[in-house]
């Protein structure tokens, strides 16, 4: 996945502030131990209990848990990871003249007929700086299942405006466990999510987070237009996760 990760200003400020507070505390302790701050009368102040009584009572509240607290990433992984695959695309003679340029991404089985969803930039030349204006499909595509077995796949088609690609494998060549599609219109900000894919080629990796925002417009890798109505998540998404599902 061609994605630049940026550290927000707020993160830097928070990190700097935490470091400054911690560093100041260390300086005061060292100064006290070395006698830099000594020489005066010691005054002891009476302090109230660190935990007020009402706070202690609140710690044992019988309020019902918030929606989403039953989120179980381990159960999701057990049920759905068998339908998530790693995709390898070969582009002989493409990308700076390399003899066998290769793209790696993720995907998931969506039909017992062998259809596999992924991103169009995983299986085509779309988004490549060295690509010609005419987008072409990879010459050879392999789908690797969680058990390590690879089968060849046929590029059925792609949509550059939504960056979606469709493959098909022969269902006779490997047992298929389709992943059911959800309704993205019901997604709400704050809901927990799990992403399964092959970041950096590490197949079957699980990442968790929450929905950070919905209805985003993000820069497209495959067209001059933004991808609209995108779901933003803080779950780690790295190169190689492209095309994988978010549960």
Looking at the annotation, which residues are catalytic? 121, 163, 242
DSSP labels, 213-243: EEEEEE--SSSSSPEEEEEEE-S---TT-TT
Q: How far apart are the first and last CA of the chain?
A: 19
Sign (positive/negative) of CA torsion 30, 34, 36, 40?
Answer: positive
Torsion of CA 96, 100, 106, 112, to 10 degrees: 140
CA distance 72 to 89: 33
User: SS3 of 205, please?
Assistant: strand
CA distance 201 to 123: 15
- Residue 125 token pair: 């030349």
- Residue 179 token pair: 């992943």
DSSP labels, 149-189: -EEEEEEEEEETTTTEEEEEE-TTTS---PPPP--GGG--T
């Amino acid at each position: 996945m061609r994605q630049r990760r940026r550290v927000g200003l707020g993160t830097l400020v928070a990190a700097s502030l935490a470091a400054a507070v911690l560093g100041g505390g260390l300086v005061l302790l060292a100064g006290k131990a070395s006698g830099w701050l000594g020489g005066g009368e010691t005054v002891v102040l009476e302090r109230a209990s660190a935990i007020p009584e009402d706070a202690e009572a609140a710690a044992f509240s019988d309020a019902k848990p918030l929606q989403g607290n039953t989120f179980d990433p381990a159960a999701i992984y057990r049920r759905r990871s068998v339908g998530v695959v790693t995709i390898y695309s070969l582009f002989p003679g493409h990308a700076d003249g390399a003899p066998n340029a290769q793209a790696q991404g993720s995907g998931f089985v969506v039909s017992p007929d062998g259809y596999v969803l992924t991103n169009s930039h995983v299986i085509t030349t779309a988004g490549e700086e060295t690509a010609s204006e005419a987008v072409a499909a990879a010459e050879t595509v392999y789908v690797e299942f969680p058990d390590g077995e690879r089968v060849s796949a046929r590029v059925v088609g792609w949509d550059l405006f939504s960056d979606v690609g469709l493959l098909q494998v022969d269902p006779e060549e490997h047992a298929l466990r389709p992943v059911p599609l959800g309704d993205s219109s019901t997604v709400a900000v704050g809901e927990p999510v799990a992403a399964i894919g092959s970041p950096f080629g590490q197949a079957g990796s699980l990442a968790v987070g929450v929905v950070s925002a919905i209805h985003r417009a993000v820069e497209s890798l495959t067209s001059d237009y933004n991808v609209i109505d995108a779901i933003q998540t803080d779950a780690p998404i790295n190169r190689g996760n492209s095309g994988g599902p978010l549960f």
